[in-house]
Amino acid sequence: MTACSQDRNVLAAYLDGELPAAQEKSLQEHLRGCPECAAEIAAQVSLRRAMKLAATRFAPSADFRRKLQAQIAPKRSVGLRWLWPAAVATLAVMLLAVVWTRQSTLSSQAFREVADLHISDLASANPYDVVSSDRHTVKPWFQGKIPFAFNVPEFAGSEFTLLGGRLVYLHQQPAAQLMVGAGRHKISVLIAQQGSGLGSGLPFFGGVAVRDSFNVETWEKNGLRFYVIGDAEQGAIHRLAQALQGVNGS
């Protein structure tokens, strides 16, 4: 068997969402027929997820921040009393920058975790734990595997086809991933409990948004968080989201 000559830097750029649309589409077609590149993508996704988990474990504590702020705060001095208001203002700006950066990082990490699960589905030769186009087969499969229940729309006669599902983990919590076909495109539907921690990290968009070359729509209902993500056109993403909202108490 001839080894694949695909540039590994191109695979990394694909995961980072840095490829032009035409090249990205071509690579997705290549991944569906190349086990070697699919395995490489899956390995990189797993490595990135492990690195993100390690980063959250070593986040500085509130006590550490207080000690650091105490060390950098200027000492009170009668002769330099006029500098105190300026120092306070500077520190306030620094703290706001830290908070904004932290929230931005959390948002990026949360979305990347969702995107990684979708990418690993595209890259895997066997992405499904349960393979079926019948919602009455896929939905019961999740019973006892996740601590919540959800409904699956009836796709017969629509533009969508249910391909299967699998058990995944979002923010270290069990979640459901449904794979839905839309023409030549594959769309991931991820469903997790709202308390899993991703709610604050990935804000609501109020419709379909474009993130890292993917179209994504997300919402919360009855304690569950839903994500619909893929490279299908925005209208298809929104129509699938509406179908899910219709059977899950929109």
148-169 pLDDT per residue, tens = 999 999 999 999 999 999 999 8
pLDDT over 50 (residue 99): no
Average pLDDT, the chain: 77
| Whether the predicted pLDDT of 87 surpasses 60 | no
pLDDT digits (tens, 9 = 90+) for 24-73: 888 877 877 777 787 787 777 767 666 655 555 556 666 766 776 776 66
Least confident of 1-10, 79-88, 175-184: 79-88
* 3 pLDDT above the threshold of 60: yes
Terminal C-alpha separation, the chain: 51
Q: Average of pLDDT values for 65-90?
A: 59
Task: Find the mean pLDDT for residues 232-242.
Answer: 94
pLDDT tens digits, one per residue of 212-227: 678 999 998 888 999 9
> What pLDDT does 128 receive?
87
Superfamily covering domain 8-52+105-247: MucB/RseB, C-terminal domain (3.30.200.100)
Q: Which residues contact 202 (CB under 8 A, 6 or more apart)?
A: 107, 110, 111, 114, 218, 227
